[in-house]
Structure 1
Amino acid sequence: MEETISLKEIFEVIKKRLLLIISLTVGAALIAAVVSYFFLTPTYQSSSQFIVTQDKPDPSVQFNSSDIRTNLELINTYNVIIKSPRILEDVVQELNLPYSWEALKSKIQVASEESSQVVTVTATDVDPERAVEIANTTVETFQEEIPDIMNVDNVSILAAAELTENPAQVSPNPLLNIAIAIVLGLMVGVGLAFLLEYLDNTVTTEDDIENKLNIPVLGVVTHINDEDVRDNRTPQANRIKRGGLNEQTKKTV
């Protein structure tokens, strides 16, 4: 026989373990906040852009579709060359970076919009000023080296990276981490609440007796504590009290 659980029972389980669920959720949020603000190193990004134009453009000659298509095909090649040792080793030496060109390669992203001749070079570093220097130096070095590498001169710097007064970190994102931690803590708390309820074999209600022992409940013995006896809150005490008053009334009459 399959057991089913009603919506009311679900709410009862959540209500019963509400303190556990709240504790896990708040704990997860606090841990995420502490790790994000005090343990994770913030990183910053800076971007520089260049455009692929016609080789040695002549002001009197206009672009045609064939020239643009050729330039677009070159962009994929340029994206590979930018992250090659030929370019990045010069950047490492010029900026005197404390890591190799392979490590620098992992800090650089090269992207271009579809059907666009504009290429964006993004550098990531723990130092915002160094991120700006890496982005600009990489594009400048590429512009200087590309004529010797491919015998073309069709790269022009469109926008150089600049250092702002208050650079915003790209990672970690404390608010996002806290939000994710809250969701995970809530899920774990609810799951743990139902697991504990499933593992709880204690008999606490009349329904538990009927379900576990398959016998009907004939009666329930009410628990009476000392405070109820002192305050005469039990039904028996109330009846005795009312009886005593009646006898006293009869004698008075």
Structure 2
Amino acid sequence: MRLQDYLRIIRKRWWVVALVPLIAAVAAYAFSKTQTPLYRSQARYVVLFNRLDTGGNIFAGQILSAYINLVYRPDRLQTVANELQIDKTGQQLMEFVRLQPQPNSSIIVIEADYYTPELSQQLADAVGRLLNARVVEANRNNISQDRASLDMAPAQYVGIATPKTKINVLAGALLGLVLGVLLAFVLEYLDDTVRNAADVERYTGLPTIGAIPGGATGAGRRPRFRPATAVGVIAAATHSREDYER
């Protein structure tokens, strides 16, 4: 098919191409509104080390993940759930909390999602206090000269974590657009109706040499014509007039 054929199909089935994305966008919006929103708060803790040489940097890269592993456990988060009186187990709370180390900047980012902005902030702060307690305990038990401490700051509310209504609607519309275009071509493929001479030439591969009137459709209306296709070759006349007189 040529590019003109693709454009012709899209123009012909424009209502399908427009309707499917609209339905998909409305469905994505409705789905987003049925979801229970989760609100996100974030706390950023700078990890300070008593050594700033190369050995201290290596120590920093190793210790950040170790600190997170001391906190991001069901038994540790269970103490947070008990402290905040959250009706969740420590295992369930792991789905609402994330700790992300950033070794290059010696930062640990704590993100907490929950059903209210206030509780999400309290949850992030509680996990931060638990992390600081683990750091203090690790320093007390550390027999080397390497020590670390946390520069703590209150958690800040950053916005709605889920649902992302605008993103969902946009994604639904784009997906619907793709499906709409595909559906338009499927409908065109299934439609074998011949409406004009161009359809005849396209389906049969033969040139149209004329149109046969289909009869008038009423007073004042032009008659419809049925296209007739060339189905053979017209041979040139080879006999003279004298041959016919014989």
Q: Give the Å deviation of 1:222.
A: 5.7
2:148 is the counterpart of 1:154: yes
The 1-side partners of 2:149 and 2:219 are apart by 91
Please give the residue correspondences for 1:123-162 in structure 2 after superposition, counting only pairs within 5 Å.
123-148=112-137, 151-152=141-142, 154-162=148-156
Identity %: 22
Q: Which moved more, 1:137-146 or 1:124-133?
A: 137-146
Structure 2: unaligned runs, 5 residues or longer: 224-246
Query: Which residue type is aligned with residue 4 of structure 2?
Result: K
The 1-side partners of 2:189 and 2:135 are apart by 68
TM-score for both structures, normalised by structure 1: 0.76
Residue 199 of structure 1, aligned match among 190, 211, 215: 190
Residue 5 of structure 2, aligned match among 9, 21, 39: 9
Query: Which residue type is aligned with residue 35 of structure 2?
Result: L
Conserved? CA contact 1:48–1:135, under 8 Å: yes
**Residue in 2 that maps onto 1:93:** 82
Q: Give the Å deviation of 1:67.
A: 2.4
Q: Give the Å deviation of 1:147.
A: 3.6
Higher helix proportion: 1
The 1-side partners of 2:152 and 2:219 are apart by 85
**Residue in 2 that maps onto 1:21:** 17
TM-score for both structures, normalised by structure 2: 0.78
Conserved? CA contact 1:209–1:217, under 8 Å: no
Would you identify which runs of 4 or more consecutive aligned residues in structure 1 move more than 6 Å?
Answer: none
| CA RMSD between the two structures | 2.5
Query: Which residue type is aligned with residue 23 of structure 1?
Result: L
Conserved? CA contact 1:51–1:156, under 8 Å: yes
The 1-side partners of 2:5 and 2:60 are apart by 67
Residue 184 of structure 1, aligned match among 175, 187, 201: 175
**Residue in 2 that maps onto 1:249:** none
Q: Give the Å deviation of 1:18.
A: 0.8
Alignment partner of 2:211: what SS? coil
Please give the residue correspondences for 1:156-171 in structure 2 after superposition, counting only pairs within 5 Å.
156-163=150-157, 168-171=159-162
In structure 2, relative to structure 1, the CA distance for the partners of 1:223 and 1:27 (3 Å cut) is farther
Query: Which residue type is aligned with residue 41 of structure 1?
Result: T
Alignment partner of 2:37: what SS? coil
In structure 2, relative to structure 1, the CA distance for the partners of 1:33 and 1:223 (3 Å cut) is farther
Q: Which moved more, 1:45-54 or 1:16-25?
A: 45-54
Structure 1: unaligned runs, 5 residues or longer: 235-253
In structure 2, relative to structure 1, the CA distance for the partners of 1:215 and 1:52 (3 Å cut) is closer
2:34 is the counterpart of 1:39: yes
The 2-side partners of 1:157 and 1:89 are apart by 24
The 2-side partners of 1:169 and 1:223 are apart by 67
**Residue in 1 that maps onto 2:70:** 81
Alignment partner of 1:220: what SS? strand
Q: Deviations over 1:31-78 (max 9, x none)?
A: 122222x21222111111223223xx5xxxx73332232122111111
In structure 2, relative to structure 1, the CA distance for the partners of 1:81 and 1:214 (3 Å cut) is same
The 2-side partners of 1:162 and 1:183 are apart by 34
Q: Give the Å deviation of 1:149.
A: 5.3
User: How many pairs does the alignment contain?
Assistant: 217
**Residue in 1 that maps onto 2:211:** 219
